[in-house]
Amino acid sequence: MKMSCRFRSEPFKALLRFRDRSFDVANVAGPAALAISTPMKKWAQWVASALMVFCTWDGTAVVTHANSVVVEESFATGNANWRTGGFTPPTIVPAGGPDGNGYISQATSFQSLGQGTLFRGHQSLNASNGAFAGNWIGLGYTELSAWVRHNASIPLTYFVRIAKPSNFPAATAQSSVLVPPNVWTPLHWDVRPGSPQITAFEGSDHTTIFSGIGNLQVAVNTPAELKQSTVPYTFDLDDISLSVPEAGSLGMAVMGVLFVAVRRRSTF
């Protein structure tokens, strides 16, 4: 368990200067040094305190990256209570993932896959200590990502099913990326409202589902030519994560508002 705090970007450093002393606009937006009013300075101090530092409590799956915050499962020390589509423990491979560390794996045939589910991260099983469960809308999650690999004879496409704790209803999000055999490939799914990757809500809607997620399933689309195949292929999963919008982008937007306000004040 650790508390991780990190300065994010130059715009936030500029905001910190707002917080600590009278601010010289030349440090950020141009050569003209313009004084800022006391109300503006107080507002900037509040913004800086709110945005300058992002602190994330790290249990087993919450980590920080430059200019973003993600919830991530790396399977570095075990299967993290994830399961295969058949609810059996996946094989943990201690090294060789895209990050060089461990990953989870299973061997199965397309005939046995049924709906295509390869791996399950369920709240009821305490997958990743529940890190992927909760109100994704309230938490600001906008993208789900994962690294996948397989050794099937042709390229494959993947999808995710993101479900309520009861496993219904759920949203299905498709990836159009063709994953070639034997190559670790990153996949990304936009989970925002209106995302073109979300193709089904099982009779429900985005708000109802994403305000209370319990289960996450990573699945493969079965190609017609392999639907009846009994050949066992190996499927691997690593570094599955959730992300929020980049803090740096938010900081730049705030700085733009501040600069316009100061420029307007200087014309009076």
- Secondary structure, 3-state, 59-80: CCCEEEECCEEEEEECCCCCCC
For 68-243, CATH gives 2.60.120.260
What is the reported pLDDT for 77? Answer: 92
Helix (H, G, I), strand (E, B) or coil at 179: strand
pLDDT of residue 267: 42
pTM of the model: 0.71
Start-end of CATH 2.60.120.260 domains in the chain: 68-243
pLDDT given at position 149:
99
> Residue 49: in which H helix or E strand, if any?
helix 38-51
**Looking at residue 88, what is its pLDDT?**
98
Nearest to 152 by CA among 186, 176, 182: 182
pLDDT for 247: 62
Task: Report which residue type is found at 162.
Answer: I
pLDDT of residue 179: 98
Burial of 38 (0-12, 13-18, 19+ CB in 10 A): exposed
> Could you list the pLDDT tens digit for every one of the 268 residues in the chain?
233 333 333 344 444 344 444 333 333 334 333 444 445 444 444 444 444 333 333 333 444 333 385 899 999 999 999 999 999 999 999 999 999 999 999 999 999 999 999 999 999 999 999 999 999 999 999 999 999 999 999 999 999 999 999 999 999 999 999 999 999 999 999 999 999 999 999 999 999 999 999 999 999 999 999 999 999 999 999 999 999 988 655 455 445 444 444 444 444 4
- Are 181 and 107 spatial neighbours (Cβ–Cβ below 8 Å)? no
Cα(134)–Cα(138) distance, rounded to whole angstroms?
9
The pLDDT assigned to 68 comes to 85
Q: What pLDDT, on a 0 to 100 scale, did the predictor assign at position 241?
A: 97
